Structure 1
Amino acid sequence: MSKVQYQCSMSLDGFIAGPGGDMSWLGELELESDPATAAIVHQVGALLIGNNTFRGDDPNKGTESEGAYGGQWTGPSFVLTHRIPDTPVPDVTFVSDLETAVAAAKEAAGGKVVSVLGANVAKQLIEAGLLDEILVWITPVLLGDGVRLFDHPGGTNIKLEVLDMTGPNMLMRVVK
């Protein structure tokens, strides 16, 4: 059965994007040189992407590395949005309901990982009890401001269990 796994790069001070969702800082890093990171794309069967991430700031835009996993991703993508476009996008399905999006992505993944991209959709999955794991690449940069890995005004306590720590990667299971 497919796992739903939030995957992201995070600055040491806890941000996955800079102010306004700026992702240009990722273009300066060489994450693809890490063998564990390069292997991740082969474990993914489908993407579940937040609307802001889908329409956001790709640090590789306009290059051959544009797109998820530095342009290495090909396969089904599901975008969670309330603004479904009139014009279809190849290999992208737009879904307005969280549970429907998860079910469709899991089916399309065929037993492989459903990779979640986007802080807001990951937060929704955590709150709905639908997120299985979090995979974070801790990057050697301090951003000082921006989009947090997980933001819950007023605070909350989500229990995680560390499954693996390899190089800059940390894999955690969400304790339900």
Structure 2
Amino acid sequence: MGKLLYSAAMSLDGFIAGPGGDMSWMTGYLGPNPTVDDLVPDVGALLVGNRTFRGDDPYKDTEHEGEAFGGAWSGPQFVLTHHAPDTPVPGVTFVGDLGSGVAAAKEAAGDKYVSVLGADVARQCLEAGLLDEVLVCIPPVLLGDGVRLFDHPGGAQVKLERLSVTHVPHATNLWFRVLR
């Protein structure tokens, strides 16, 4: 089975979304990123938090609005929620608990990555000892407030091993393995 990878763009001060889940801050930093571009074909499924699924989109008002990785990826998505919509969403399975969501996403991904999208789902995966790797793309911006990459007041330290550091004109990419 594949690995669980938490991938996110993050401001230098640690926010993956601005206040209220605003993702518009990313618009000026979208563009070619060989690290991400090389990752996309290795992603077999997405495990997405409900707020991320229903939230703002950095590709809003473009032809790729609502598409993972700006339309570069398509495949099975598993949304962790206690409130599935009444109307089915093509390609999306709604799951009520972390364990069944991770199991379904890993099965769908096969030997490829399950890309975890959403800070709360990533935190839950870390707490459960399920997260394998973290990829953070850091553009040169400070947001000052919003949704943190990892927020667990009073939580235990999570040790990471750096796998790679790469630079592109609009970001620095940091890739880590989660140590257990």
- Provide the TM-score with structure 2 as the length reference: 0.94
Q: CA deviation at 1:155?
A: 4.1
Paired residue for 1:151? 151
Q: In terms of mean alpha carbon deviation, does 33-42 or 133-142 score higher?
A: 33-42
Paired residue for 1:172? 176
Paired residue for 1:21? 21
Paired residue for 1:92? 92
* C-alpha distance in 1 between matches for 2:105 and 2:69: 18
Paired residue for 2:46? 47
- Unaligned stretches of 5+ in structure 2? none
Matched ranges for 1:127-146 at <5 A: 127-146=127-146
* C-alpha distance in 2 between matches for 1:137 and 1:18: 16
Q: How many percent identity over aligned positions?
A: 66
Paired residue for 2:113? 113
* C-alpha distance in 2 between matches for 1:27 and 1:107: 33
Q: CA deviation at 1:153?
A: 1.1
RMSD: 1.0
Q: CA deviation at 1:154?
A: 2.2
Partner amino acid, structure 1, of 2:99? E
* C-alpha distance in 2 between matches for 1:111 and 1:100: 18
Number of aligned positions between the proteins: 175
- Provide the TM-score with structure 1 as the length reference: 0.96
SS in 1 for 2:71: coil
Deviations 1:80-132 (A, max 9, x none): 00001111100000000101000100010021000000000000000011111
Deviations 1:13-36 (A, max 9, x none): 111110111100111113x31222
Deviating above 3 A after TM superposition, structure 1's stretches of 4 or more consecutive aligned residues are: none
* C-alpha distance in 1 between matches for 2:158 and 2:150: 10
Partner amino acid, structure 1, of 2:112? K
- Unaligned stretches of 5+ in structure 1? none
SS in 2 for 1:25: helix
* C-alpha distance in 1 between matches for 2:39 and 2:77: 16
Partner amino acid, structure 1, of 2:64? S
Partner amino acid, structure 2, of 1:138? I
Paired residue for 2:35? 36
